[in-house]
Amino acid sequence: MNAITRKERNIAGLPVAVIWGYVATLIFMAGDGLEHAWLSPYLIEKGLTVQQSATLFAVYGAVLAIASYFSGVLTEMWGPRKVMIIGLVTWLIGQVLFIEYGLKLNSYAIMLPTYGIRGLGYPLFCYSFLVWVTYRSPDRILATAVGLFWAAWSGGLYVVGSYFPAYMLPKIGYIGLLWSAVAWVLIGGIIGLIVVKDDIRKEQKGNAKEKLKSLLSGFTICIEQPKVAIGGIVRIINSTGIGSLPIFFPMYLSSKYGFTTEQFLQMWGTMWFANIVFNLIIPYISDRWLGWRKTIMWIGSFGMGVMLLVMLYTPQVFGSSFLALNIVGIIMGIVLCGFVPLSALVASLAPEKKGSAMAIVSFGAGMSYFIAPAIVGAFIGSIGVHGVMWIFAGLYFLGAFLMKFMKLPNEGKQNESGHLSEKQAG
């Protein structure tokens, strides 16, 4: 299932359908990300407290984490297309209800459940596609294939999702921007459903016991393969620090140094543009020379811990220099790419249960969107911005330490082509 058939058209070793799936992911995530970098400041201007805004994102993150876990398991049970359809429909329902009955009525009680419903959408749509990619890509380019997915994912969520609102907010306003997201998601969703086939579904016995076993397989694999559990923890850390910044950092930059929301959006988009470019470079370096584990440990985990602190102290040194902030953002976007091989590493630890292993990775990605705002809400009032940033930097350093225990069998030995051998990957 992991090999490409000779009759299938491919580009650089990947099926054309997978390439189009990346396009669908980028467009879908562009729609999903149009509000991420400005929603918290907007809601606070409308009367919410920082803690209430953080709680809203925590609820969204909790639902997202659940959907992220089930995306991998359900993909193996039902096939990717059915799971992607569920993701598309739930996103659309949540978005419409959130706009019409949450934001327009300025009702926090309605915002919580409706924004939560929307949190089911992109994990079910995108992460089920990611599982499909891990099955359809050869081991020799698996990290590169996953890197392309994350390039498309971050390109939509953060690059288009930052530059498009920065340009369109003065023209169509906040609510108009949220409605435009519906068009983005519909287009991406339709493309994805056209190109992705249900060709990885495994036969499932009809009794309830077997179905329950399948649903729990993502957690039982953590007992069978403890390194998969460690990979899930590192995946949580991966997005926790970076995912927390839009919740409180734009207000901090505005109040202390005079940066506008549009400037933060432009910096945010530039950072993720650099991330996309190096998402195509660092996984290649990882596959060929450095190795997956060391890339995650030093470039991803340690690098992000350092750069988060550099981001915090740069305005203190350079004041309101937009150029300095952008340079730091670019470097941060580059080192964040160091986490890309994590999906390939974890999947390779369980070659016969990739869907279950990927369920843990996806669950970790989702949990980060719960943990990040939860930490902000719990500590921002007592230890302030500096204290919270140091907490997140410490988590990244913890991730670097945990990667010491993620060695593959015979790590360090490479075959003649320079990539990890199948024996290593197993």
pLDDT digits (tens, 9 = 90+) for 130-147: 888 887 777 777 777 887
Q: What angle do CA 118, 19, 25 make, to 5 degrees?
A: 10
The answer to whether 20 and 191 are in contact (CB under 8 A) is yes
Lowest mean pLDDT of 184-188, 224-228, 281-285, 393-397, name the range.
281-285
Report the Cα 396 to chain-centroid distance in Å: 16
Report the Cα 77 to chain-centroid distance in Å: 23
Q: What is the mean pLDDT of residues 261-288?
A: 84
The answer to whether 294 and 412 are in contact (CB under 8 A) is no
The answer to whether 128 and 72 are in contact (CB under 8 A) is yes
Q: What is the mean pLDDT of residues 345-367?
A: 81
Q: Is 42 exposed, middle or buried (0-12, 13-18, 19+ CB in 10 A)?
A: middle
Of the two residues 212 and 303, the one the predictor is more confident about is 303
The answer to whether 130 and 149 are in contact (CB under 8 A) is yes
Of the two residues 215 and 44, the one the predictor is more confident about is 44
Of the two residues 226 and 285, the one the predictor is more confident about is 226
Confidence of residue 218 (pLDDT cuts 50, 70, 90): low
231, amino acid identity = G
Domain limits, the chain: 16-197+222-408
Q: What is the mean pLDDT of residues 327-342?
A: 93
Three-class secondary structure of residue 389 per DSSP: helix
Highest mean pLDDT out of 42-46, 93-97, 219-223: 93-97
Compute the CA torsion angle 146, 62, 239, 315 (nearest 10 deg). Answer: 150
| Helix locations, 225-353, DSSP H | 226-257, 261-279, 282-285, 292-294, 303-318, 322-336, 341-349
Q: What is the mean pLDDT of residues 388-409?
A: 92
Predicted confidence (pLDDT) at residue 157 exceeds the cutoff of 50: yes
Residues with Cβ within 8 Å of residue 303, at least 6 apart in sequence = 335, 336, 338
Predicted confidence (pLDDT) at residue 202 exceeds the cutoff of 90: no
202, amino acid identity = K
417, amino acid identity = S
Confidence of residue 201 (pLDDT cuts 50, 70, 90): low
331, amino acid identity = I
Report the C-alpha gap between 22 and 68 in whole angstroms. Answer: 18
H or E element at residue 114: helix 108-118
For CA atoms 325, 327, 333, 335, give the dihedral sign.
negative
Predicted confidence (pLDDT) at residue 258 exceeds the cutoff of 60: yes
Of the two residues 8 and 126, the one the predictor is more confident about is 126
Residue 276 in tokens = 């996309």
Residues across the chain: 426
Of the two residues 417 and 145, the one the predictor is more confident about is 145
Residue 319 in tokens = 């004041």
Confidence of residue 425 (pLDDT cuts 50, 70, 90): very low
The answer to whether 261 and 250 are in contact (CB under 8 A) is yes
Percent above pLDDT 90 for the chain: 46
Of 230, 236, 238, 237, whose CA–CA distance to 349 is shortest?
Answer: 230
Confidence of residue 12 (pLDDT cuts 50, 70, 90): low
Highest mean pLDDT out of 77-81, 138-142, 332-336, 370-374: 332-336
Residue 407 in tokens = 């060695």
Name beta bridge partners: 10. 15
What does the pLDDT read at residue 13? 66
Report the C-alpha gap between 270 and 268 in whole angstroms. Answer: 5
CATH superfamily of 16-197+222-408: MFS general substrate transporter like domains (1.20.1250.20)
The answer to whether 251 and 44 are in contact (CB under 8 A) is yes
Lowest mean pLDDT of 39-43, 121-125, 295-299, 420-424, name the range.
420-424
Predicted confidence (pLDDT) at residue 422 exceeds the cutoff of 50: no
What does the pLDDT read at residue 37? 77
Q: What is the mean pLDDT of residues 209-223?
A: 69
Average pLDDT score over the chain: 85
What does the pLDDT read at residue 424? 32
Predicted confidence (pLDDT) at residue 238 exceeds the cutoff of 90: yes
Alpha-carbon distance values, 425 to 48, 143, 349 (Å): 49, 11, 7
What does the pLDDT read at residue 330? 96
